[in-house]
Homo-oligomer: A and B are copies of this chain.
Amino acid sequence: MPPFGLLHMRAWASLFGQLLRPRRAVFIREVAEAVLTSQLKPHQEKSHFVIKTPKGTRDLSPQQMVVREKILDMVIGCFKRHGAKRIDTPAFELKETLTEKYGEDSGLIYDLKDQGGELLSLRYDLTVPFARYLAMNKVKKMKRYHVGKVWRRESPTIVQGRYREFCQCDFDIAGQFDPMIPDAECLKIMCEILSGLELGDFIIKVNDRRILDGMFAVCGVPESKFHAICSSIDKLDKTSWKDVRHEMVVKKGLAPEVADRIGDYVQCHGGVSLIEQMFQDPRLCQNKQAREGLGDLKLLFEYLTLFGIAEKISFDLSLARGLDYYTGVIYEAVLLQTPAQAEESSNVGSVAAGGRYDGLVGMFDPKGYKVPCVGLSIGVERIFSIVEQRMKTFGQKIRTTETQVFVATPQKNFLHERLKLIAELWDAGIKAELLYKNNPKLLTQLHYCEDMGIPLVVIIGEQEMKEGIIKLRLVASREEVAIKRENLVAEIQKRLSES
């Protein structure tokens, strides 16, 4: 697998082009529909139990896996390009490891049944396990990536690509460094991945928890309500200001005039000039935290300009991020849809997000020793939905195997010869298949190759064996060439390396 640089990423489309054959997209759609139907319409019979995957989860078919793996390969390729190491952690953690990390979302954690022994919960993200890993192993500095499933008991709205089990790809930089250099790299990585996947135009919203806290303070929000109000603000990408204001005032007991002051701020978004403008804001600038946040954002934009990605970034005062553990810069990438796209598909929401969390590792350390961290998470599931949708639209067919050679015969009672030959191919590292029948028809065998996109067929028969030759059929052109039996493996390897 070659490394995917931005230039190499251009090859992405043609790479897909090789995998996809413009045939019926029917199969993919059928499988997808079968999965959806079985999830949405439980069996009517009560006698026999229902065969389905749990609510909010799904199987991935071979077609889906090919797309998934291509996306993961590209994401992981980018993480490696930036020098990250990979780790893995268990699917479940001690329940108390996850306690008090997720604010209002804590209710969405899956707990395991108490079967004696420790109380356990399925991991909710890859960030808290990473912080636990750092504290447990007393690691002070690390750039790591982690690809794995996480579980959240959300009301699943499957059409939008939201599931209760989903895959996350996280990249994080832990350690005490000079300000904003790792943070800028995280944004660069998000840009590389989103450009590389060719999902269309996108923008990354950036804000800072300290600016939010400063804003809350100068607007008159009591400090005890900062987290709760932050959670409300976080809903602004899905909910109108009117509804968010209502929640803040009615449910969370905020004074209406305080809410309105917040309302003025959260409408602001722009580039570096907005940072300057906020520095001029007499109210906000009284606040030390806000000033620090604004200063860091200014430095961040300096670095983003050097990375050539400043025009992709928008300073957005409405960005809040729901999770409790963020302490500094936060960001979220959203795809910009054309009006036509926006009409046919519902809002896909953010496809990548992250931020700085300098206090999380300290929550696990017995002495409260802090390890500053900043990172990002790629929402593979949503990206996957988009790519899958696009493939359906274009009616592309995917090769789900990599078989290079098929071993066929027109002859009856030739199983032994086929088995001997295919073992020779396997032992030479050639990807090969045959039909598991004593006497398959030649036409059935050739159809299988055309169906599966297998490029080469080796055909053995009695006459050829006597002559010490073997026939090699090129499936695409249906051309057949005779080869000396002893040269077969070399000839196949030569043809495969040329194609």
Contacts and interface: CB of A to CB of B under 8 A. Distances in A.
Interface of A: 1-9, 31, 34-35, 38, 43, 45, 48-55, 57-62, 65-66, 68-69, 80-94, 96-97, 110-115, 117-118, 120, 122, 132-133, 135-138, 144, 149, 151, 153, 165, 173, 175, 177-178, 181-182, 184-185, 188, 192, 303, 306-308, 364-366, 400-403, 415-416, 419-420, 423, 426-433, 436-438
Contacts of A93: 53-54
Contact of A59 (B89, B419, B431): B89
A436 B48 contact: no
Contacts of A308: 423, 427
A400 B85 contact: yes
28 contacts: A1-B1, A2-B429, A3-B429, A4-B429, A5-B426, A7-B428, A8-B429, A34-B136, A51-B97, A51-B364, A54-B118, A57-B90, A62-B85, A62-B144, A65-B87, A65-B88, A80-B401, A81-B431, A85-B400, A91-B91, A91-B151, A92-B165, A111-B113, A113-B113, A181-B419, A185-B436, A192-B427, A308-B423
A226 to B, nearest CB: 25
A85 B65 CA distance: 9
A153 B115 contact: yes
A428 B5 contact: yes
B60 A88 contact: yes
Number of identical monomers bound together in the oligomeric complex: 2
Given A113-B111, A306-B419, A419-B303, A89 B53 contact: yes
A111 B112 contact: yes
Nearest to A303: B419
Given A3-B429, A35-B137, A59-B90, 18 more contacts: A6-B428, A34-B136, A43-B366, A48-B366, A53-B89, A54-B94, A58-B90, A59-B87, A62-B85, A81-B426, A82-B426, A115-B153, A175-B436, A181-B437, A192-B427, A303-B419, A307-B419, A307-B423
B83 A401 contact: yes
Contacts of A178: 415, 436-438
Contacts of A60: 87-89
Given A62-B86, A306-B416, A6 B92 contact: no
A289 B267 CA distance: 77
Given A308-B423, A429-B7, A133 B59 contact: yes
A449 B94 CA distance: 38
Contacts of A113: 110-114
Contacts of A177: 436-437
Contacts of A429: 2-9, 81
Contacts of A427: 5-7, 192, 308
Given A402-B80, A423-B308, A51 B136 contact: yes
Contacts of A111: 112-113, 115
A55 B423 contact: no
Contacts of A4: 429
Given A57-B90, A426-B5, A80 B431 contact: yes
A426 B8 CA distance: 11
A423 B308 CA distance: 8
A80 B431 CA distance: 7
Contacts of A137: 31, 34-35, 59, 61
Given A65-B88, A113-B112, A55 B118 contact: yes
A165 to B, nearest CB: 5
Contacts of A84: 401
B420 A306 contact: yes
A-B interface, 7 closest residue pairs, ranked by CB to CB distance from nearest: A5-B429, A62-B85, A177-B436, A57-B90, A83-B433, A111-B113, A60-B88
A149 B91 contact: yes
A175 B60 CA distance: 20
Contact of A181 (B50, B55, B436): B436
A1 B76 CA distance: 14
A230 to B, nearest CB: 26
